[in-house]
């Protein structure tokens, strides 16, 4: 039996946490906690270990507390099942839901809860059945349409954002996968040839190398995150200082490779947030 003050390997920690929480905790979950400074890493050279006591303290402070806090605010009859607290991130962003980032994205399990044919003490009636048509007037990135398709329900999505409509349609369209792969290969080959005459790739390679050296020195993982979590480092102040230190390195590379950062106009989102060579690549691919 492992004492609470003993060190656990990542595998042992995942096994212990799985038993402690009564839900699957993978080695990747433990590595995430280390990487983002939630718990401290002990040991090096592939022998990373964590304190069982620290891991226990983390889960005690996190697991269950959110349910208590929300029920205190919203009432004891809150249906905590709809938090889907027991699901891993990989499960709440399954298949096509993982294709892109989107801030307003619903957890697909939440949509499925209301669309499927089950009932419970909160959902006392089934509202949709296979073959029905569901209208989502605020479709967002198309989560409702995807889950409806999984359940054999037809769906129509409406959204004011053209971009959202594009994302949603991409998710629910039918594809000939062989043709998709051929087109991806064609575009990739053409883009590589397009970039041969550009200094952009060499610039990015040198920039990434410089950032790697700089970050390893001033932002070592996971030590830096661990100290930030415990307020041992003022992240905002420290980050601003190091940004100023790295700026001359960045500017030197920009000048060396003749990189045009700003575009001639700044009327649209793409004009403001993408450098000229990225815009050139986007334009080439779409042409």
The residue with greater pLDDT, 270 or 277, is: 277
Domains in the chain, CATH or no CATH each = 7-63 (no CATH), 89-172 (3.40.50.150), 179-286 (no CATH)
User: Region 3-30: what's the mean pLDDT?
Assistant: 84
**Residue 44: per-residue pLDDT:** 65
Q: Which residues contact 195 (CB under 8 A, 6 or more apart)?
A: 201, 281
The residue with greater pLDDT, 22 or 123, is: 123
Question: CA-to-CA distance for 239 and 39, rounded, in angstroms?
Answer: 22
The SS3 of residue 49 is: strand
Question: CA-to-CA distance for 167 and 142, rounded, in angstroms?
Answer: 7
User: Region 160-178: what's the mean pLDDT?
Assistant: 91
Whole-angstrom Cα Rg for the chain: 25
Q: Which of 98-107, 222-231, 267-276 has the highest mean pLDDT?
A: 222-231
Q: Which residues contact 92 (CB under 8 A, 6 or more apart)?
A: 84, 107, 108, 109
User: Region 116-141: what's the mean pLDDT?
Assistant: 93
**Mean pLDDT estimate for the chain:** 86
What share of the chain in percent tops pLDDT 90? 41
**Residue 138: per-residue pLDDT:** 93
Q: Is the pLDDT of residue 238 over 90?
A: yes
**Residue 112: per-residue pLDDT:** 93
Question: CA-to-CA distance for 33 and 11, rounded, in angstroms?
Answer: 13
Q: Where does the pLDDT of residue 2 fall: very low under 50, low under 70, confident under 90, or very high at 90 and above? A: very low
Q: Which residues contact 194 (CB under 8 A, 6 or more apart)?
A: 281, 284
The residue with greater pLDDT, 167 or 4, is: 167
Tell me the pLDDT tens digit for each residue of 36-50: 888 888 876 667 888
Q: Where does the pLDDT of residue 5 fall: very low under 50, low under 70, confident under 90, or very high at 90 and above? A: low
Question: CA-to-CA distance for 210 and 218, rounded, in angstroms?
Answer: 12
Element of type H or E holding 8 = strand 7-9
User: Region 182-203: what's the mean pLDDT?
Assistant: 88
**Residue 260: per-residue pLDDT:** 83
Tell me the pLDDT tens digit for each residue of 65-94: 676 677 778 887 777 777 777 677 777 778
| Residue closest to 12 by CA, chosen among 33, 1, 27, 24 | 27
Strands (E), 126-281: 133-136, 154-157
Q: Is the pLDDT of residue 105 over 80?
A: no
Question: CA-to-CA distance for 253 and 244, rounded, in angstroms?
Answer: 15
What share of the chain in percent tops pLDDT 70? 95
């Amino acid at each position: 039996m492992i004492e609470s003050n003993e060190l656990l390997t990542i595998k042992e920690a995942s096994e212990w946490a799985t038993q402690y929480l009564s839900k699957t905790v993978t080695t990747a979950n433990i590595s995430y906690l280390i990487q983002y400074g939630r718990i401290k890493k002990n040991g090096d050279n592939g022998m990373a270990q964590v304190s069982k006591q620290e891991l226990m303290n983390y889960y005690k402070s996190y697991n269950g507390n959110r349910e208590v806090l929300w029920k205190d605010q919203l009432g004891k009859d809150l249906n905590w099942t709809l938090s889907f607290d027991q699901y891993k991130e990989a499960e709440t962003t399954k298949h096509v839901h993982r294709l892109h980032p989107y801030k307003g994205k619903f957890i697909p399990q939440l949509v499925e809860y209301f669309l499927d044919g089950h009932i419970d003490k909160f959902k006392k009636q089934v509202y949709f059945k296979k073959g029905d048509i569901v209208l989502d007037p605020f479709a967002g990135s198309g989560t409702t349409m995807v889950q409806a398709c999984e359940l054999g329900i037809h769906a129509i999505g409406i959204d004011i954002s053209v971009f959202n409509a594009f994302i949603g349609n991409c998710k629910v369209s039918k594809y000939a996968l062989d043709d998709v792969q051929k087109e991806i290969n064609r575009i990739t080959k053409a883009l590589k040839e397009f970039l041969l005459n550009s200094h952009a790739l060499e610039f990015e390679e040198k920039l990434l190398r410089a950032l790697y050296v700089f970050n390893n020195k001033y932002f070592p993982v996971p030590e830096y995150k661990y100290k930030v979590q415990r307020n041992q480092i003022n992240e905002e102040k420290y980050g601003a200082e190091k940004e100023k230190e790295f700026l001359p390195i960045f500017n030197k590379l920009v000048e060396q490779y003749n990189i045009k950062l700003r575009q001639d106009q700044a009327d649209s989102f793409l004009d403001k947030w993408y450098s000229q060579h990225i815009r050139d690549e986007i334009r080439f691919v779409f042409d």
